[in-house]
Structure 1
Amino acid sequence: MPRRRYPTIGKGDDGLWHAWVTVGTKGNGRPDQRHVKRRTVEEAEERIDELLEQKKSGTVVKAGRAVNLQQWLETYLDTVAPRRCDPSTVYDYRSKCRNWVFPIVGKVRIDQLRPDHLDKVYLGMQRAGKADSSILKMHRILTRALEIAYRRGLTPRNVAKLIDSPTAKKVEVTPLTEAEAIAVLNSAQTTRRRNAARWSVGLALGLRQGEALGLRWPYIDLEAQEIRVWWQLRRRVAEHGCQGKCGRKRAGNCPKKTLPMRSGESHLSGGLVLKEPKGTSKRTIPIPDELIEVLREHREVQKLERQYAGAAYVDHGLVFAHADGRPLDPGHDYDDWKDLLATAGVRDARVHDGRHTAATLLIAQGVALEVVQEILGHSDIRVTRGYSHVATAMARDATKRIGRTLFPKGGTP
């Protein structure tokens, strides 16, 4: 078989060096030739070698001028990511790219991207004091976007895979103690707080905030003592319906604003929607006897509120709602939690720490990890196992208290 000749390089009337490189065959059967045009012979040879290497490895980039990184990420976030990701997730991705990628390396052509370009993005985030978890998320966004670009022949490689992934320190779980959890529930009851049962459900069953606020009566069977966690309440951010032509920075002020929705979701009011939990979070869990009575009392109070509201009542079937049936805003729910902690004299904690509390209490009481995983809706047992060291400490403290009770100092066994 004759050895293929190196492409001929010649100087044109424009003073530049030209060459034609055959890198394959087009869909119509004709040769796919790429025109190389450079200022020096060395630059032309470098580009020819690059094309020949791409041909050898089967990673030839599509013909035409490559888009820059900003153009590709905008295309990815507009047309690719929405097919797999929640609209709120895409909004978060777009915000991160706009703040940290576009200003630094957004104008770099995607086929000329180098690992050090991404290093600049991560270093910029680090110097700005961003959390390690945010930097890691940025890396995952770029890795996925560049992988899609590579598969579509827009770039000869995924440079995000050529660098070490940023590391994020594991966040220590800080649940409430058993005494603190009891103090919170007692305070909610004694102060006759509206929707006090919301915190009983959250702490007893370890529901996420969105899952608790998205509970509906048709999915609760008090006779069978089961609760189906099939929905969660989420706030969505509005998008421009005018393609940005209105001139308003905030999409919420756009005259043609739209609310991004996915199949199967329900719009309640404002930007609040009901959506299915992701992954294995959709589950059916048993309700403790004591919590059954709490829910029965809460339902009776809600029936009275409905009678008082009359025609003004908006019936979404929500277990926890305003007096007129409107859904509870996650932000107001957060404020209520903070106020409840202060009233109970308990240290400050996040709403999500209530979920951590339920997990550690279950494990401390000897419930198998697999059962705790099922109750909490963890997709991976390793997440559940992360609570073990905290629960073990709580169990050890409990046994010490039992020991002091049964065998007081100086007493006889």
Structure 2
Amino acid sequence: MSRHANGEGSIWKRKDGRWVGATYAATNTGGRKRVYVYGKTRVEAREKLTALQRELDRGVRVPVENWTVQEYLEHWLRDVVKPNRAPKTHQGYELVVRRHIAPRIGRKKLRALSVQDVRRMVQELQDSGLRPRGVQFVHSTLRAGLQNAMRDDLVTRNVAKLVQVPTPRYEVGRGLTPEQARTLLEAAKDDRLSALYVVAVYLGLRRGELLGLQWEQVDLEEETLQVVQTLQRVDGELQLLPPKTRTSRRTIPLPDPVVEALRAHKVAQNKERLAAGERWVDSGMVFATTVGTPIEPDNLSRSWYKVRAVLDEPQPRFHDLRHTCVTLLLTEGVAPHIVQQIVGHSAIDVTMTIYAHTSLDEKRKALRLLGNRLA
């Protein structure tokens, strides 16, 4: 064999008949290591070696660990996602990697992962019956992990970005009509959490924001309420976490019905405190159990199902109370950017997307106004 220039790489045939291509590459830790490619023929080995050298010329760094996809994603989850993202985000990513990505492409070498591999994974997920939203989340998790690999100079392209997945159709709740909202609040008067429903309808707080609310964030004299945290179950335990987005942290003025409901609720909670005696846990929660502890988010459903039973089918989800607040405020002519600030949407288009799902009566009323104007 002729001599090769330093760094050009070399090719030879092994005793088992396979061809090997080898060259030296910079590693992600600043050193150098020899890397290998394999082929059934000399031509195949040469093509793979040329492709590898092309990647190295673009600045790709070879991991010392020679990571598989699973190994790299576990590193990404542990050292990048967990310290820098919300616990719920890490929990969701970890579940997706463990349940969907690792079993299908986890053993693939990170540097060798191809568009075809990702496309095959997506197809398998669809064939397994996973809903479009789930497929999209798996794909977006892999895409985020590979994007970090690009920042680490471990791959030259994000192959997940080159694979399209069907965009799921999001069903946005229309919310309640004013009549339905009044019926619901009337039915909730006998519920020990009646004030929670008043706050949900009037202020549009998310479930976690309602259950994470503490009395120190409520000023009934100044008639304001601050949203600074949310209650969520993470890793098997209830935790108070920062709000969903930066704009979710907000101060909201309280209308009279909300002030009255919260004052009555505080009186009722003080009675529960006396009844509980030594069993009372002073968590400071506005909406707590009968012994003062935070309410398990899923347990709120027991109260909600009983309250919503007064409404006709299809019965609303709890989150539709938030949509109700948005829709009714906009229907009353409140500026969209004000509504956005009240409910803490991340962007104005989220606010308007909810409002886009208006009823036929509201559309008919709007067009009648236009007709009267032009007549």
Identity of aligned residues (%): 33
Structure-to-structure mapping, 1:41-190, within 5 angstroms: 41-59=42-60, 61-62=61-62, 66-189=66-189
Contact 1:180 1:346 (8 Å CA) reproduced:
no
The alpha carbon displacement at 1:19 in A equals 5.3
Q: 2:211 aligns with which of 204, 210, 213?
A: 213
**2:54 partner letter:** E
Contact 1:363 1:391 (8 Å CA) reproduced:
no
Contact 1:313 1:324 (8 Å CA) reproduced:
yes
**1:93 partner letter:** Y
Structure-to-structure mapping, 1:307-346, within 5 angstroms: 307-343=274-310
Residue 359 (structure 2) pairs with residue 358 (structure 1): no
Identify if the C-alpha distance between structure 1 residues 187 and 56 changes in structure 2 by more than 3 Å, giving closer, same or farther: same
Aligned equivalents of 1:346 and 1:31: distance in 2? 67
The alpha carbon displacement at 1:394 in A equals 5.9
The alpha carbon displacement at 1:358 in A equals 0.7
The alpha carbon displacement at 1:346 in A equals 6.2
Identify if the C-alpha distance between structure 1 residues 384 and 394 changes in structure 2 by more than 3 Å, giving closer, same or farther: farther
The alpha carbon displacement at 1:371 in A equals 0.3
1:276-309 per-residue CA deviation (whole Å, 9 max, x = no partner) reads 2032101001111122111111111111221222
Question: What SS does the corresponding residue of 1:285 show, helix, strand or coil?
Answer: strand
Aligned equivalents of 1:348 and 1:208: distance in 2? 18
User: Could you say which residue in structure 2 is the equivalent of 1:382?
Assistant: 349
The alpha carbon displacement at 1:214 in A equals 1.2
Identify if the C-alpha distance between structure 1 residues 80 and 7 changes in structure 2 by more than 3 Å, giving closer, same or farther: closer
Question: What SS does the corresponding residue of 1:227 show, helix, strand or coil?
Answer: strand
Compare 93-102 and 374-383 and name the one that shifted more: 93-102
**2:212 partner letter:** G
Q: Which runs of 5+ in 1 are unaligned?
A: 239-270, 403-413
Question: What SS does the corresponding residue of 1:67 show, helix, strand or coil?
Answer: coil
Compare 176-185 and 81-90 and name the one that shifted more: 81-90
Aligned equivalents of 1:208 and 1:121: distance in 2? 34
Identify if the C-alpha distance between structure 1 residues 315 and 167 changes in structure 2 by more than 3 Å, giving closer, same or farther: same
1:13-63 per-residue CA deviation (whole Å, 9 max, x = no partner) reads 7766555535569988x976545565532233123211221233222x416
Compare 225-234 and 302-311 and name the one that shifted more: 302-311
Question: What SS does the corresponding residue of 1:42 show, helix, strand or coil?
Answer: helix
Q: Which runs of 5+ in 2 are unaligned?
A: 370-375
**1:280 partner letter:** T
The alpha carbon displacement at 1:208 in A equals 0.2
Question: What SS does the corresponding residue of 1:323 show, helix, strand or coil?
Answer: coil
User: Could you say which residue in structure 2 is the equivalent of 1:300?
Assistant: 267
Aligned equivalents of 1:26 and 1:397: distance in 2? 63
Aligned equivalents of 1:10 and 1:306: distance in 2? 81
1:76-107 per-residue CA deviation (whole Å, 9 max, x = no partner) reads 22222112222232222222222222222222
1:114-150 per-residue CA deviation (whole Å, 9 max, x = no partner) reads 1121122222222233222222211111111011122
Number of residue equivalences = 364
RMSD across aligned C-alpha pairs, in angstroms?
Answer: 3.0
Structure-to-structure mapping, 1:25-44, within 5 angstroms: 34=35, 40-44=41-45
Aligned equivalents of 1:182 and 1:325: distance in 2? 29
Question: What SS does the corresponding residue of 1:386 show, helix, strand or coil?
Answer: helix
The alpha carbon displacement at 1:180 in A equals 1.2
The alpha carbon displacement at 1:320 in A equals 1.0
Question: What SS does the corresponding residue of 1:172 show, helix, strand or coil?
Answer: coil
Contact 1:183 1:346 (8 Å CA) reproduced:
no
Question: What SS does the corresponding residue of 2:225 show, helix, strand or coil?
Answer: strand
Aligned equivalents of 1:317 and 1:296: distance in 2? 15
User: Could you say which residue in structure 2 is the equivalent of 1:285?
Assistant: 252
